[in-house]
Amino acid sequence: MDHDYEMEDDYGPRVLWGRVVLFVIVALLFAFLGRCTAGGGVAQSQLELERDRVAELTSQNAVLQQRLDVAEARQANEGRGGGGGNEQDREASEDAEATEEPAEEGETYTIQLGDTLAGIAQEFYGDASQYEIIAEANDIDSSTPLREGDELTIPPEQ
């Protein structure tokens, strides 16, 4: 029994263009959404500023750690009854005596551990708010970290 079908469809090599178009639209939609939601990243200049800030904070942290170590050593020394004053205490008092005199023209000051511009201004001028005079004379600003051993020019009080 041979049967001949009158309506035989041939589905072989036909492309379903509707599905292809739908696939392309979905792919474009995903690409568009990906670009819209992607972060722009960080500008190189901003990254460098943040790295500089981290370096500054790291150096400030080191200075504060040194101050803490000195304070703990002094406290331990005082706790042992060694309040007679050690070499470091004598040097600090000598420095304080030397800086109580009024500042002369172009006098230099060697930065000690734990010094701040306000503290130096207090020593030389008797007023911590005069730190701007020292900062201006040395081309620094109040946020510049002071490094032990560096020298500052102390101008006369204005």
Q: What integer pLDDT is reported at residue 96 of this predicted model? A: 44
Mean pLDDT is lowest, of 34-43, 126-135, 148-157, for: 34-43
40 in a structural domain = no
> What number is the average pLDDT over the span 92-118?
66
Q: What is the CA radius of gyration of the chain?
A: 37
60 in a structural domain = yes
Residue 96 CA from chain centroid, whole number: 32
User: 152 and 116, same structural domain?
Assistant: yes
Residue 16 CA from chain centroid, whole number: 60
5 in a structural domain = no
Helix and strand counts by DSSP (H, E) for the chain: 5, 2
Q: Residue 52: which domain range?
A: 46-80
137 in a structural domain = yes
Question: How many structural domains compose the chain?
Answer: 2
Measured in residues, the chain has a length of 158
Q: What integer pLDDT is reported at residue 8 of this predicted model? A: 60
25 in a structural domain = no
Q: How much is the pTM?
A: 0.35
Mean pLDDT is lowest, of 69-78, 94-103, 129-138, for: 94-103
**What CATH number did the domain enclosing 156 receive?**
3.10.350.10
Q: What integer pLDDT is reported at residue 104 of this predicted model? A: 47
The span from the CA of 132 to the CA of 155, in Å, is 11
Give me 15's structure tokens: 């492309």
158 in a structural domain = yes
92 in a structural domain = no
